[in-house]
Structure 1
Amino acid sequence: MASSASPAASAHPINVRAAVLDLLRAFGMTTIFGNPGSTELPLFLDFPDDFRYILGLQESVVVGMADGYAQATRNAAFVNLHSAAGVGHAMGSIFTAHKNRTPMVITAGQQARSILPFEPFLFSAQATELPKPYVKWSCEPARAEDVPLAIARGYYIAMQPPRGPVLISVPADDWARPCEPVLPRTVSTESRVQPDLLAQIGAALDASRRPAFVVGAAVDRDGAWDDVVRLAERHQAAVWVAPMSGRCGFPEDHPLFAGFLPAMREKIVGLLTGHDLVFALGAAAFTYHVEGFGPHAPPGAQVVQLIDDPNIAAWAPVGTAAVGSIRQGVADLLARPAPPRREAPRPRVPAPRAEPGAPLSVAYVLQTLAELRDPDSIVVEEAPSARPVMHRYLPILRSETFYTMCSGGLGYGLPAAVGVALGKSGRKVIGLVGDGSSMYSIQALWSAAQLGLPITFIVLNNRRYAALQEFAPTFGFGSGDPLVGTALPDLDFVSIALGHGCEAARVSDASALRETLATALRMRVPTVVEIEVA
């Protein structure tokens, strides 16, 4: 957290714009993501040379890019949206940022204060209520001179666990008003788990004969990957990834890695049966997608949880929950005396080798990608129907090399890949998206091309919303029943990519797959590979 005064801060008044820019410098937030409207223009008067503006062609794309960037840099991103209409366009991505626990300071334009009583064109009638409940805090300052204080407060709130977006509505005439400088402060973002609760969890781990860990997105968010590996090895625990996790918290080639839990109560219980202790680490216990029945944990199994979000701890139906930093909590557990050595769990059965076919299977495509990609490359994924196959054929091996949305709301993958590439400068980013998902935010290709980022976008084109068709039996559809609104014919992603300024290629058979992917992964400019799959 920034603690030093900015060079421009002094005892005499400056204007709101200058005070805010000084604060953003001190917070390390000199990248602004936006799609400006008329009420935002005063912020950009005499735009400083040490800032950069990342333009998105639609507000949901803007917030998606900022989400990827904030996660990649581990600092809040600064976003500028346009009044009610722009915030409305962005709401799906704001919801995803909320579920991703992504720190973000969003400013939204507002019409000048003097005309607000007359309901002017393009104003926001209830600016602070519009983004709720998916921001941690929202504010329209009572006075123009309070805008810098509001933005400083918003930054501290956004960065406090559980992190998330905040929104400040700023009337257009506020930016030029005089104000006092606001000095950045040091505000703690650490929260240590109660020692007695952690001791209970440690004792339960020591006493367990067959422990299972269920790791969630908060493990990687909090930089606890390596320590969680050490803790699992110490206790010879089978390690599962929590349902709908937006990050990977454990190397998927590790002998203790057990697999991925589905978002269904009965299946979770079935997979965890035989374990006498279930430790939810940085994860809810548990996230469900469909109605379920019966117990929430296997018979005879104790459930304990370490989570950074008190709300998640509160709604967990079973177990002892400790709230605080995942990284610090795991480090404290590692500081305990080592327990007696126990037998390792049975290793995960490897996936059968996928073979080429016509049409191409998703398994063969992802197996080929896994063989070609550098393990340090970063996968940003939004291909819901392909995710179970990805879990078997595209293992994630290292910390901070996988990002997806925790929300289930589409439109995240393409812009987030742009944001991650900006935040992890020079790293190769692979945007793995479905054909349906990509069309929610296809404009992100233009931003990637304009910025010249080293992203390979892989579009798995199955010409349908396949996830819906696969989910339909849950609601009573038979295998041959028609499902309206799921077909996506005649989308040409090569033409779309070229039209946005990217390189592009199409693969429709196995003979061209390996060479085309290898070439695209070597490219240092945005490249789209459309792959026609079964």
Structure 2
Amino acid sequence: MTTVRDAVFDLLRRYELTTLFCNPGSTEVSLLTGLPDDLRFVLALHEGSVVGMATGWAIGREAPALAVLHTTAGLGNAVGAIATARVNRVPLVILVGQQDRRHLALEPFLTGRLDGLAGDYPVRVDQPVRAQDVPGAIARAFHEAATSRGPALVVVPMDDWEAPFEGETVAAPGRLLRPAAVADDDLAPLVELLSGALSPAIVAGARADWDSLVPLAELLGCPVFQESFGSRAGFPQDHPQYAGVLPADRGRLRETLSGHDVVLAVGAPVFRQYPYAPGPLVASGTVVALVTDDPAEAHRSPAELAYLASPGAVCARLTALLPARTGRGRHQPPPAEIPELPPLRAAHVLRELALRLPADTVLIEETPSSRPDLHRLMPARTPLGFLSAAMGGLGFAVPAAVGLRMALPDRPVVAVVGDGSALYGLHALWSAAHYRVGALFVVLANGRYAVMDRLADQRGEGKAPWPPFDEVDMGALARSLGCPAVRVGSYDELTAALDEIVPTLAARDSPLLLDVSVAVDPGFQP
């Protein structure tokens, strides 16, 4: 007899969802025990790491990944990571366990009140009416995740897996194609706008396509800015036309974009900010146009002209339709200033990393107080040369680095994290050690939430109530989870460690945590 479980396994093979990231609970035992040999089970010790590792896997493979969560507790623990996946626009299929369907009405132990628990962050939540509807719900979740670029949840009662599936129909297409072509007539208003621009500029976002955006930028000869708080680099940051990261407040944003009569945002919102400041986003006389494949981004952006279309397809056609401009100039920001030694600061660590890391390194950032230095000192040279959590919550970098290295075993993978950030996702180091995942975790340890200290200082309203946590030993925590660790306390120790470690990154088959003691950096401005 063919069961629902059998039918689902066939679907997982068809959609190449054969790696299951999971922290198991009793409501998932009937799914997980006796897995076929061609399905790979990957254990994480916390549900945040389950979804974080799946997120990294999906980014690396450029395809949906599969996570399995345990009813209310599991889904609740993973909500922050689910929110990050949605804001980063990463496709995930998430199966959530539920109590036995036959007595749910009595609310037995471990009954999940799951509807709405993850809020609006999933692109779809499905609780199939019948057990036989589960395979179709999972197939639809795959398509919804890939189309809407986010996590799609399917809640499955524990008895559904053994239900018969003879003669049933999977209510979803086997293949779903998403043509991305754009008509030249539709692009005419944007072609006219850019053709008449005296001083255009481009803002590149996480969904920009490098292969099409670089030729367009070179044709226009204009500066290209990176969106603020983006989840990945939208343009090669060693390109002579790269002009730096947009400021995150309106005053500095207006100043940066002043003098540009047309600003084209590609795969980026218009415009991400953090501290509120009054006034318009851009100065009078500056026209903003937007190209995005995210409907919500298009609908909320205050642009004069917005296209809901594939950024890659639009940029490729614009390059064919626009006349070339003369005088392509250099727009790179000035070199970053490095503080004098001693003490050892984050900027020193980032500079030495930048001097040694190969161009194809996958770099994941989660060090809020050092992010401006990282942007200035470590330009992204490939589309995965900078990755971050666009949602802003902590706990992304460590598990994402594990998933990325699993998906890309031949590329160096480095996570640069603060010690406060690392503590949110440290469980993933066990998975890295157990599954022999050769990622490098560079922890900038200052024993405090430095960015919070600075924000409190900027308010000037008294001392912040939170204490430092400099008793925490990141290396000891890593070793307790089976991950080797090296302590670095001086500049000479840093350079010696990096000289030894960096050449091994592409071939490493075990993780390593570099616990670097750094002084607090002054003068941070988000």
Q: Which TM class, normalised by the smaller chain length?
A: over 0.9
Q: Which of 233, 256, 271 is the matching residue for 1:286?
A: 271
Encode CA deviations 1:95-116: one digit per residue, 9 max, x unaligned: 1011011100101000001110
1:205 aligns with one of 189, 194, 199 = 194
Distance 1:346 1:103, change over 3 A: closer
Q: Give per-residue Cα distances to partners, 1:174-201, cap 9 Å, x unaligned.
A: 0000113638612123444564442212
Deviates more, 1:242-251 or 1:261-270: 261-270
Q: For residues 331-370 of structure 1, what are the structure 2 equivalents within 5 Å?
A: 331-344=316-329, 346-352=331-337, 354=338, 357-370=341-354
Give the conservation status (yes or no) of the 8 Å contact 1:190–1:325: no
Name 2:523's counterpart in structure 1.
none
- Pick from 123, 135, 144 the counterpart of residue 157 of structure 1: 144
The Cα shift of 1:346 comes to 4.4
Distance 2:487 2:496 in 1: 12
1:512 to 490, 493, 510: 493
Task: Supply the distance in 2 between the matched residues of 1:116 and 1:456 (Cα, whole angstroms).
Answer: 45
Within a 5 Å distance, the mapping from 1:66-215 to structure 2 comes to 66-125=54-113, 127-160=114-147, 162-179=148-165, 180=168, 182=170, 185-193=174-182, 195-215=184-204
User: Is structure 2 residue 235 aligned with structure 1 residue 240?
Assistant: no
Q: CA deviation at 1:356?
A: 5.4
CA contact (8 A) 1:19 1:181 kept: no
- Partners in 2 of 1:246 and 1:432 — Cα distance? 14
What is the match of residue 216 of structure 1? 205
Equivalent residue of 1:218, what SS?
coil
Give me the whole-angstrom Cα distance separating, in 2, the residues matched to 1:488 and 1:473.
Answer: 18
Aligned equivalent of 2:468: 487
Are positions 1:434 and 2:422 aligned together?
Answer: no
Aligned counterpart, 1:5: none
**Distance of aligned partners of 1:442 and 1:340 in 2 relative to their CA distance in 1, 3 Å threshold:** closer
The offset of 1:442, in angstroms, is: 0.6
1:263 maps onto 2:248 in alignment: yes
The one of 33, 47, 51 aligned to 1:59: 47
Q: CA deviation at 1:343?
A: 4.9
Match of 2:399 in 1: 415
Match of 2:313 in 1: 328
What is the TM-score when the length of structure 2 is the normalising length? Answer: 0.94
Q: Which runs of 5+ in 2 are unaligned?
A: 520-526
What displacement does 1:355 show? 5.6
The equivalent of 1:251 in structure 2 is: 236
1:393-424, Cα deviation, whole Å (9 max, x unpaired): 11111122321111001000100000110111
> In the alignment, what sits opposite 2:437?
453
Shift of 1:293: 1.0
State the distance in 2 between where 1:459 and 1:471 align.
22
CA change 1:450–1:356 in 2 (3 A) is farther
Distance 1:191 1:510 in 2: 50
Report matched runs for 1:302-313 at 5 Å: 302-313=287-298
Taking the aligned partners of 1:14 and 1:265, their CA distance within structure 2 comes to 60
Deviates more, 1:75-84 or 1:202-211: 202-211
Rounded Cα–Cα distance in structure 2 between residues aligned with 1:62 and 1:497: 18
Judge which range, 410-419 or 201-210, deviates more: 201-210
Q: Output the CA distance in 1 between the equivalents of 2:142 and 2:460.
A: 47
Identity %: 39
Q: Is the 8 A contact 1:469 1:486 kept in 2?
A: no
Deviates more, 1:503-512 or 1:404-413: 503-512
Q: Is the 8 A contact 1:356 1:510 kept in 2?
A: no
Over aligned residues, Cα RMSD in angstroms? 1.6
Q: Deviations over 1:206-251 (max 9, x none)?
A: 21121111111111xxxx1121111101101101000110100111
Gaps of 5+ in 1: 1-12
- How many residue pairs are counted as aligned between the two chains? 512
Alpha-carbon shift at residue 77 of structure 1 (Å): 0.6
Instruction: Report the CA distance shift for 1:20/1:210 in structure 2 as closer, same or farther (over 3 A).
Output: same
Corresponding letter in the other structure for 2:277: G
Secondary structure of 2:189's partner? helix
C-alpha spacing 1:254/1:368, structure 2 compared with 1 (3 Å): same
| More deviation, 137-146/195-204 | 195-204
Superimposed CA distance per residue, residues 56-88 of structure 1 (whole angstroms, 9 cap, x where no aligned partner): 100011000011110110111111000011100
Distance change in 2, residues 1:439/1:347 (3 Å): closer
Judge which range, 354-363 or 378-387, deviates more.
354-363
* Structure 2 CA distance for aligned equivalents of residues 342 and 149 of structure 1: 56
Q: Residues of 1 paired with 2:49 and 2:220: CA distance? A: 43
What one-letter code is carried by the residue in structure 2 that aligns with 1:498?
R
